[in-house]
Amino acid sequence: MASFKSTKIPIYPKLGEKVTPDTLYWKNYKAPVQIKEFGAVTSIDFSSLAPHNYAVTASTRIHIYGPFSTEPVKTFTRFKDTAYSGKFRSDGQLLVAGCEDSMVRLFDVSGKVALRVFKGHTKGVHVTDFTSDCYHILTGSDDYTCRLWDIPNSTELTSYKEHTDYIRCGITSKLNRDIFITGSYDHTLRVFDARVEKSVMTMDHSQPVESVLLYPSEGLLVSAGGRYVKVWDLLKGGQPLVSLKNHHKTVTCLSLSSNGQRLLSASLDRHVKIYNTTNYKVVHNFDYAASILSLALAPDDESIVVGMTNGVLSIKHRKSPEEKREMAGKQRMQPVYRIFVKGRNYVPKKDDFLVSKPVKSHLAKYDKQLKKFNISKALDTALESWRRNRKPEITVAVMKELDRRGTLKNALAGRDEQNLSQLLNFLIGNVVDPRFTPVLVTATEMILDIYQAVVGQSSVVDRQLVRLQELVEREVDYQQDLLEVLGMLDTLFATVFCKCTHLYVYLNLCIQTGHKATIHFFGTPSNCLSLLMFL
Amino acid sequence: KLDPLPLCLPHVKIKVPQKFLLCASGESVKVYSSSSEECVHDLQGHTDLVSGIVRNPSNHLQVYSCSADGTVRLWDFTDGILIKVQPHSLPRSFAIAASFFALCTVLVKLFQLVAVHLPLSGDQEVEARELSAVLCDVSPSGAASFGRKVRVVGLPGTSVANKFFLKSGNKKGAKNAFTCVSCHPKEDCIATGHEDGKIRLWRNFNQKKEYTYSTLHWHHGAVNTLQFTPEGTNLLSGGIESVLVQWHYTQENQKDFLPRLGGAITHIAVSPDGSLFCTSHSDNKITIIQSCVKVSAIIQGLVKGEGVRTDLTIDPRSKALVLNGKPGHLQFYSLHRDKLLYNLDIVQQEYIHEEGLDQFEVVKAAFDTRGNWLATVEERTQKGSELEINLKLWAYDEQTQSFMLNTTVTAPHEDQITAMCFSPSPETTMLVTISFDGHFKAWLLADHSDTKAEGACWSCDFVGGYHHLKPGCCCFSADGSLLAVGFQEVVTVWSPSWELLTTLSQPPGAIRDLCFGRLSCSKYLLGTSTKNQLCCWNLLTCSLEWSTPVDVSLLQADPLSENMAAFCSQSGCSDLFVFKPGEPRPLYSQKALCTGKVQRAVFAPRDQMLESCEEHAQWLNRSQLYFFTQHMDLMTFSTKTEEDRLLASSKRLMVDDSVAVTPFYLLLGKHRQQQEALTNPMAERIQLPQGSIAIKELLYTPAHVLPSASFLCSMFVRSLLISSSSAR
């Protein structure tokens, strides 16, 4: 004697993005904290010292924030003009910043007044950095020069005037105290060695360079400029490795995630893209409200800080493991009773022979009715409002089952006005859904057959019938348009068939499975001509 | 001599004496033990279908059987001995009933109910002298039953029936023709089942025209069978719904149900003490039920549906034959043990036992070479609406030793799937499906290991077609490096990277079957076409090697050798040719194998290679050929030696089981066994080392190449010694 087999509810594939470990990782951040600064946030730098404060350069100030504070723990305001590029020294004690007034100021993190002021540039200084030995400072300026300064003497050590446009980015090597790299609006990246008079390597980015970044191993260099992010192999004499074009506006800032596995790029198009550094595919994407100028990640990716042109600083903190657990715990149902748990916690002893109780299988409500051949009641339970609204696939599956049993017509018949309008509402909501169309079209036909005698007796039902008719007509028009598009594409693909077989098949599938995916792909059918041009 | 040997496919009628269960199965009556479900005896003797069996009312260890060959036989079923044969002068008896005084059979030819008196004589063969026609004008499909007062109730066809209630039967209209009858063992009551699903209880029919009747109605289809329990307290009925209904005789409104027993119930039997019920089902199954609550045992034969729509396939793991079983199931049938292993539920839907419903049917099944994956296609054609097709892929689960559903693809193609095969290459797990919609699709097992939630699942990798022609068949080469797809008259050959390598064609006639050669013949591709052609292409030169004008209905390749079997239909008969693609002469051929077309065939690999001697039977060494005839009989070829072995084993079984386990036997039997062991200890000793290699070497090596005797001596002695491990 076999047991009753419950109605199969088909599982439909979820459309949209696939859940990868990357999306899980990068989605595991809390809602952003937003802080309004006085002007566009041009630079963010994390201190490598334990609490990992970060310096935010915006307008004429540099604010230093603690990891979880929304108020600055420290502010440097001694700038006469817009400040740029506030950077911590690797020991976290000193901070250097350039300024539009061409002076470079060095601050003690605990003090207020500048310890040193380096004068010598003739135009605004956009790039400042400490060398790895902590005694020198690199600066790059709009006067096309980059210079090295000695901190104890506050004297200029060397000056290189090789760039032919503004120097807007630069980075010092963390492994070698003499090597640094600058990028300029003259489209070039230059590698300098302080022991040599001239640059040792030049790379052409072919766009004004906005940001440079060295990998921890310092074998690879990443530069951003224009819409491109390019990766260069320094060990092969600056050979270009990859060129990425994933943004549709200028890329302004680059950053590496703490383990060096992911590269982040921020752009004026308001997106932050995350690349896998092994295959340089985009694995995740963040959207922001305004164009992004600066981006920094806290050590261990504890927080993502983004500065935007409208002066908003957005900070996202990682969810701590406890919070995660808490969230999961909330979802778990607690037992609501405390009685009748006798023996539940009993742990069998070593020699005990376990006899497991047969697990009683519970049938869903509609299955219980189907088992008893109560077809109308089964349909009623499947049409319960929460089930109808949240899980239409169950309602449709029950209808399909009834249809298979040849009793759908009986189940649909004999309903009053309220019941019928409920049913029609469901049909109006779902009949054009490509997953449900085949079943619901039969049901609709049956309803029209059964109730055609009473049409005109209820205004509610009549209105719904008219709506249904309009819906179906619109859908038919839609499908016709889509077929036309397919015809157009056919002629196109006929010429380049072998190359595009896969795309063709994909489009074919779109048409078959319903218009939703196709619409997403094209916009509207009238847009398809532009697509044709594009192809 | 090679003989087609039909496997038994019981067609069932049953009687339950307490411990044994008797069932008419084809030309024999089988005796099953009701506790162990084993077949104890096979009562053979009838030469045609056995149509009815009944217990001898005067001796409860004897049973009468009647058959379409016109004889009635009396058996002792505990020992399996034929006691009497009573040849009828009138052939084709259809039902049988017995009382203390008379034996009745319904004869079809003359539409008569005949009472037969069997004289009590010692002879085995007895001619019945008294044949008295009780009733005339009885139509076939009848049944018979004896009432308490030795009143014969004969049964009844569509228009005419027995003398008591003929008229009332007609009045009700067309649908209430009688289907079955049963008499109450104690009271004056007859129950009849009707085609419209009603059961009528007739009482007080002894006085003419004064009978009364009451109606019970639950069944929605025809009532197939009715049976009173021995005490008369309950009435059991069954029909197409596969529900055993137990009516309480006194309270007619009360009834108990035992639902979902399997196929439609065809017969019900009750043991004399009323503790065991037994139902036989249309899907070749007997269910033993303990007092209407619990199914205690199931005896299941090879499920023989009205049509096997899947190809015959062999499960590479269990070496079982796989074909359609119960509706929506695949059955795994062990050919070596002639036993159904299990049914795999493919459709996974509640089966509604109702006539005229369109149900899902499993139409295709395929295994990959290692048996890790099973692909099935189920389809449902609905009147006026489109075809529903599901492609399901099942992964073998080591823990449960069964197949688990992995992926379901709804509507994989727009039209019927005509063929399906797995790629035999070990690197990729790929399935190719071919459909009438003009496309073939390749499905790949994609491992989404980066998404944690789901494991590996299948997705479509490639869709191919050829000039919008309808593909009919496909075949992978043995190493999986080539795929041949037959598009009507054209054979296209594809590489694994989906490049069209070449096209072959031999018009006229669409390609019906395609087969790659194996092993040494792997450069050949064979194809059969509808216009009576068998072609062989050489794949190296891409040209036709040879072709012959034969109407090959089925082409099958042996997976373990180069051999191919081709079934040709010629003037209503089927011929078999076994050949190698490279050689022009067939290895073996048999004309007029069976009548009608051979539907399906398969090579089943043997467990171990036969070391057959006869030349013409050598193609059977590695695998055995099974095939389905038009009448859905499963046949096979067996060699002489195998037949002998089969015969021997069946004889031994009979001897073993003929001794009933009585307390006396237990006492005496044990004693005798001990004695036997004592009396011939010698025999045991002699058996030991005969097969040893050393002795063989010594005896069969020519003397002039033997080493010296001193060298051989120690080896020879050692071979005679019993090693410590074998002694234990």
- DSSP for A346-388, please give it: PPP-TTPPP-PPPPPPPPPHHHHHHHTT-HHHHHHHHT-HHHH
The tens digit of pLDDT for each residue in B77-103 reads 777 777 777 665 555 554 555 444 445
Binned at pLDDT 50, 70 and 90, residue A469 comes out as very high
> Touching check for A405 and chain B: CB below 8 Å?
yes
Residue A120, phi then psi, degrees to nearest 5: 160, -35
Peptide bond into B508 cis (omega under 30): yes
Point out the least confidently predicted range of A381-395, B121-135, B183-197.
Answer: B121-135
Say which of B352, B410, B451 has its CB closest to residue A20: B451
CA distance A307 to B216: 85
Of residues B249 and B676, more confidently modeled: B249
The tens digit of pLDDT for each residue in A334-358 reads 555 556 666 667 788 888 888 877 7
CA distance B129 to B126: 9
**pLDDT recorded at residue A148:** 92
Contact A62, A80 (CB under 8 A): no
**pLDDT recorded at residue B117:** 54
Of residues A325 and B721, more confidently modeled: B721
Residue B201 pLDDT > 90, yes or no? Answer: no
Overall size of chain A counted in residues: 535
The per-residue DSSP string of A59-101 comes to TTEEEEE-TT-SSEEEEE---SS-EEEEEE-TTSSEEEEEETT
Find the chain B residues whose C-beta atoms sit closer than 8 A to any C-beta of A: 258-262, 295, 345, 348-350, 352, 354, 356-359, 380, 385-386, 408, 410, 414, 450-453, 463
> Touching check for A68 and chain B: CB below 8 Å?
no
CB pair distance less than 8 Å for A4 and B260 = yes
Residue A516 pLDDT > 50, yes or no? Answer: no
Binned at pLDDT 50, 70 and 90, residue A87 comes out as very high
Of residues A484 and B622, more confidently modeled: A484
Say which of A406, A438, A505 has its CB closest to residue B357: A406
CA distance to partner chain A, nearest, from residue B463 (Å): 8
Q: Which segments of B305-412 are extended strands (E)? A: 313-314, 320-324, 329-334, 339-345, 361-367, 373-382, 385-397, 402-410
CA distances to A78, B15, B216, B240, B249 from B197, in Å: 102, 24, 9, 10, 18
The per-residue DSSP string of B267-327 comes to EEEE-TTSSEEEEEETTTEEEEEETTTEEEEEEE-----S---SPPEE-TTT-EEEEE-ST
CB pair distance less than 8 Å for B350 and A5 = yes
Q: What is the mean pLDDT of residues A474-502?
A: 79
Q: What is the mean pLDDT of residues A41-52?
A: 89
**pLDDT recorded at residue A147:** 92
CA distance A61 to A40: 11
Which positions ≥6 away from A4 have C-beta within 8 Å?
A: A363, A367, A371, B260, B350
Say which of A7, A18, A442 has its CB closest to residue B451: A18
Contact A2, A21 (CB under 8 A): no
Contact B574, B283 (CB under 8 A): no
Residue B83, phi then psi, degrees to nearest 5: -100, -45
Residue A433 pLDDT > 90, yes or no? Answer: no
Of residues B718 and A124, more confidently modeled: A124
Which of B265, B277, B350 would best serve as a mutation to test chain A binding (most A beta carbons within 10 A)? B350
**pLDDT recorded at residue B205:** 62
> Touching check for A14 and chain B: CB below 8 Å?
no
Residue of A nearest to B296 (CA): A1
CB pair distance less than 8 Å for A1 and B261 = yes
**pLDDT recorded at residue B171:** 38
Of residues B40 and B542, more confidently modeled: B542
Residue A315, phi then psi, degrees to nearest 5: -120, 125
CB pair distance less than 8 Å for A405 and B357 = yes
Point out the least confidently predicted range of A106-120, A369-383, B558-572, B645-659.
Answer: B645-659
Q: With contacts defined as CB-CB under 8 Å, which chain B residues touch A512?
A: 414
CB pair distance less than 8 Å for A405 and B453 = no
**pLDDT recorded at residue B548:** 86
Which positions ≥6 away from B287 have C-beta within 8 Å?
A: B261, B262, B278, B279, B280, B281, B295, B297, B298, B299
The tens digit of pLDDT for each residue in A267-326 reads 999 999 999 988 898 989 999 999 999 999 998 888 999 999 999 999 999 988 777 666
Contact A516, A434 (CB under 8 A): yes
Binned at pLDDT 50, 70 and 90, residue B518 comes out as confident
Pick from A179, A162, A180, A163: nearest CA to A171: A180
**pLDDT recorded at residue A535:** 39
Longest dimension (CA), chain A: 101
Binned at pLDDT 50, 70 and 90, residue A8 comes out as confident
Contact B62, B74 (CB under 8 A): yes
CB pair distance less than 8 Å for A8 and B348 = yes
Say which of A1, A401, A512 has its CB closest to residue B295: A1
Q: With contacts defined as CB-CB under 8 Å, which chain A residues touch B356?
A: 406
Overall size of chain B counted in residues: 728
CA distance to partner chain B, nearest, from residue A23 (Å): 10
Binned at pLDDT 50, 70 and 90, residue B9 comes out as very low
The tens digit of pLDDT for each residue in B277-300 reads 888 888 778 888 887 677 777 777
Residue of A nearest to B356 (CA): A406
Q: With contacts defined as CB-CB under 8 Å, which chain B residues touch A438?
A: 385-386
> Touching check for A1 and chain B: CB below 8 Å?
yes
Say which of B260, B358, B451 has its CB closest to residue A1: B260
Q: With contacts defined as CB-CB under 8 Å, which chain A residues touch B283?
A: none
- The H or E element spanning position A43 is strand A41-46
CA distance to partner chain B, nearest, from residue A224 (Å): 30
CA distance A161 to B385: 80
Q: With contacts defined as CB-CB under 8 Å, which chain A residues touch B450?
A: 20-21
Q: Which residue has the tokens 């390609």?
A: B511
**pLDDT recorded at residue A139:** 93
CA distance A322 to A302: 14
> Touching check for A200 and chain B: CB below 8 Å?
no
Which amino acid would we find at residue B455? G
> Touching check for A8 and chain B: CB below 8 Å?
yes
Which of A404, A442, A499 would best serve as a mutation to test chain B binding (most B beta carbons within 10 A)? A404
Residue of B nearest to A406 (CA): B357
CA distance A178 to A180: 7
Judging by beta carbons within 10 Å of its beta carbon (0-12, 13-18, 19+), is residue B704 exposed, middle or buried? exposed
Asked if the interface predicted TM-score (ipTM) of this complex is over 0.85, the answer is: no
Say which of A2, A20, A512 has its CB closest to residue B260: A2
Cα angle B263, B268, B274; round to 5: 135
Judging by beta carbons within 10 Å of its beta carbon (0-12, 13-18, 19+), is residue A123 exposed, middle or buried? middle
**Average pLDDT along chain B:** 74
CB pair distance less than 8 Å for B408 and A405 = no
Sign of the four-CA dihedral A160, A164, A169, A171: negative
Q: What is the mean pLDDT of residues A6-11?
A: 84
Contact B454, B506 (CB under 8 A): no
Q: With contacts defined as CB-CB under 8 Å, which chain B residues touch A444?
A: none
Binned at pLDDT 50, 70 and 90, residue A48 comes out as confident
3-state secondary structure B626-690: EEECCCCCEEEEECHHHHHHHHHHHHHHHHHHHCCCCHHHHHHHHHHHHHHHHHCHHHHHHCCCC
> Touching check for A21 and chain B: CB below 8 Å?
yes
CA distance B73 to B666: 32
CB pair distance less than 8 Å for B349 and A5 = yes
Residue of A nearest to B360 (CA): A404
Q: Which residue has the tokens 């009312």?
A: B57
CA distance to partner chain B, nearest, from residue A240 (Å): 30
**pLDDT recorded at residue A270:** 92
**pLDDT recorded at residue B11:** 42
Structure-token pair, residue A171 = 């980075």
The partner residues of B570 in beta bridges, in order of sequence, read B573
- The CB density around residue B659, as the number of other CB atoms within 10 Å, is 10
Sign of the four-CA dihedral B342, B344, B345, B351: negative
Q: With contacts defined as CB-CB under 8 Å, which chain A residues touch B352?
A: 404-405
CB pair distance less than 8 Å for A4 and B350 = yes
Structure-token pair, residue A19 = 């859940």
- The H or E element spanning position B526 is strand B524-529
Of residues A530 and A479, more confidently modeled: A479
Q: What is the mean pLDDT of residues A195-206?
A: 90
**Average pLDDT along chain A:** 85
CB pair distance less than 8 Å for A4 and B453 = no
